[in-house]
Amino acid sequence: MSPQAEHWHWRPLIHRIGKCNCGYPIFFRNYLCLHCGLALGYEPERATMLSLEQVGDEGNLVIAGAAAASDIYRRCANFDLAPQCNWLITVADSAHHALCRCCRLNRMIPDQSIDANAALWHKVELAKRRLVSSLIALGLPVASRLDEDPQQGMAFDLLADVEPVPIANGHLDGIITVNVNEADDVAREAIRTALHEPYRTLLGHVRHESGHYYWTRLLMGSKWHEPFRALFGDEREDYAAALKQYYADGPAPDWDDTSVSAYASAHPWEDWAETWAHYMHMVDTMDTAMGSGMHNENVELLKDPFQKEVLYRFEGELDTEIAGTDAFLDFFNAWAGLTSVLNEFSLGMGLPDFYPFVLSKRSITKLHFVHRFIQASGVASNVQPKEAAL
């Protein structure tokens, strides 16, 4: 085992790839083992997929082959609807909720009397489950604004365009709005091309909007607020005017030296949300890579790894005061090496780059800021040793 094996990316947050009780490979999206026929489901508190067998005739499920008594689960009520949700609910929780932790975040869903909306809703929920599983595993607060935390919780409005008023993706007061028409690949690609974006996905949207939510929910007014302004800029800048200028004149000329994407240069809020989304991309992809055995012992193509000068420091902070820095650098450098390989895989199939971004040192500093903020805000994490501070 290499020295890097002590660091976070050898301990995935979520086990998205595993094995059924029969030994057959299973994945995060699965609800049935095609080899042995066992039911499968995702358990968000354990952050893992489970092989299940039914007990009784009330839809109760237990872990298949468990040596000792285990929790009893039920399917999310959306399992039999368009989302085909494979998340599990404990029987105790099912006395209060028919929906899983992810599905009960929905405030509005697309009109299901329109046939086309079922497929769109299904695709949006696939992306949302990916996001919410990461948020829970990172220890961030995830509670429904509808019936769990009416003041600070989050909720999703999943809406379809109704002419002549288009639906805009966005966040306001804990409500994340998603235009489900972007689940249509042709429509989304047309928007991506029109906006000259290298990357546009449903998952990217929900990750981005969750960044806005947590900025308001956790960062605003905290000890992180002034450091945020020093690094990302002053969010009191006129937001509407900044976006108008961005769409009229394009990104800031030096955006690729300062931000993870062109859109991030539009306004400090967008810089934060884009950086947050990219951090979520990285954590999820590295989780998957670890689960599949594609770790840095096998993929070592990064010839010029980044060093400590890219790390974020509070004013006056010494290198020795930044706990877990080696872990973050290992994480980021492993990600950079991995994406170089995955880009080649994509090109070998005639597809665009898997990760079509080149990150500057300043954008990595911002990613480290997000990393440290999540470490301070979450209650459970594997990104650095548990005994380490910020």
Q: How far apart are CA 36 and CA 224, in angstroms?
A: 50
- What's the average model confidence in pLDDT over 221-231? 96
Residues 16 and 35 in one domain: yes
121 has pLDDT over 80: yes
Residues 54 and 34 in one domain: yes
* Domain termination residue (choose one: 192, 219, 246): 219
* Domain termination residue (choose one: 66, 84, 100): 100
Nearest C-alpha neighbor of 207 from the set 242, 236, 169, 237: 169
Q: How far apart are CA 219 and CA 216, in angstroms?
A: 6
Residues 37 and 110 in one domain: no
Instruction: Give me 375's structure tokens.
Output: 């470490």
Nearest C-alpha neighbor of 104 from the set 141, 132, 71: 132
273 has pLDDT over 70: yes
Residues 232 and 208 in one domain: no
Contact 186, 166 (CB under 8 A): no
Q: What is the pLDDT of residues 10-33, one digit of tens each?
A: 467 899 999 999 999 999 999 999
- Highest mean pLDDT range out of 61-75, 209-223, 348-362? 209-223
Q: Which domain holds residue 28?
A: 11-100
Report the pLDDT value the prediction gives residue 66, as an integer from 0 to 100.
82
CA distances to 20, 161, 181, 323 from 165, rounded to whole Å, are: 47, 7, 13, 50
Q: How confident is the model at residue 9 (pLDDT cuts 50, 70, 90)?
A: very low
Residues 265 and 379 in one domain: yes
Residues 139 and 84 in one domain: no
Q: Which helix (H) or strand (E) holds 41?
A: strand 39-43
Residue 383: helix, strand or coil by DSSP?
coil
| DSSP states of 147-194 | TT-TTT-BEEEEE--BTTBPPPPEEETTEEEEEGGGGSHHHHHHHHHH
Nearest C-alpha neighbor of 60 from the set 71, 47, 74: 74
Residues 106 and 249 in one domain: no
* Domain termination residue (choose one: 54, 69, 100): 100
Residues 6+ away with beta carbon under 8 Å from 379: 139
Looking at the structure of the chain, the number of domains it has is 3
Full-model pTM: 0.91
Residues 84 and 150 in one domain: no
Instruction: Give me 71's structure tokens.
Output: 């929790």
| DSSP states of 75-111 | E-GGGGSTT---BEEEHHHHTT-SS-TTGGGEEE---
Report the pLDDT value the prediction gives residue 384, as an integer from 0 to 100.
39
Residues 6+ away with beta carbon under 8 Å from 16: 27, 28, 49, 284, 287, 288, 291
Residue 6 domain flag: no
In what side-by-side order are the strands of the sheet with 39-43?
39-43, 48-55, 60-63, 73-75, 88-90
162 has pLDDT over 60: yes
Residues 131 and 231 in one domain: no
DSSP letter for 40, please.
E
Report the pLDDT value the prediction gives residue 334, as an integer from 0 to 100.
86
Q: How confident is the model at residue 74 (pLDDT cuts 50, 70, 90)?
A: very high
Residue 366 domain flag: yes
Report the pLDDT value the prediction gives residue 4, as an integer from 0 to 100.
35
Residue 243 domain flag: yes
Residue 378: helix, strand or coil by DSSP?
coil
Tell me which of 35-39, 161-165, 180-184, 369-373 is least confident.
161-165
Q: What is the pLDDT of residues 313-363, one digit of tens each?
A: 877 665 545 556 678 888 888 888 888 888 999 999 999 999 999 999 999
Residue 5 domain flag: no
266 has pLDDT over 80: yes
Residues 373 and 232 in one domain: yes
